[in-house]
Structure 1
């Protein structure tokens, strides 16, 4: 998949997910399967209230911001940790901590949102 930093609307995100599953040779899984969701998506909560759902691919990150707009960001060369970005969006992190920059808004610090104990 070639990343361009484009955005995908809600319907496009569903299509993208289905296409990725088909291209990867994966069996179709129910969207609400908690095992698949836990493995596939990492949830981040940021200091400014932004919530990010991120699916990491080998050379891209598919990021859903606040449950709406979906972005495909190409991987960048990071000295340490991870870095995905375009001219308008930037996600950098190490361990459970990250920094998210969206458009002209100032960068915000984010952390992996842990699931509450059962």
Structure 2
């Protein structure tokens, strides 16, 4: 049976001796999980957006980008859903690292998710 890490694409992001544990975790764990879950994040956000603004798809790109940013920063339920989807893909070892500095990892996750969603809304 495949493990959670087997499901993730191995990204070629160099990690040097100067790299902090937080940066290494971001590169080796968070980014591959975000890439793996990308389609699900997009589907969830699209459903959320249309439930809040029925004509979301007809908004200008600028308004969509602003909505993405505001939603993930201010709507705690949405934010926690995305964080939970990401944390659910951690291994036990990764969970230990995550628990050591949850607030920093939450900020990094949300920032990366915002950028990921925004870049795909532009397409």
TM-score by length of 2: 0.32
1 or 2, which has the higher strand percentage?
A: 1
The answer to which structure, 1 or 2, has the higher relative contact order (CA under 8 A, 6+ apart) is 2
1 or 2, which has the higher helix percentage?
A: 2
TM-score by length of 1: 0.33
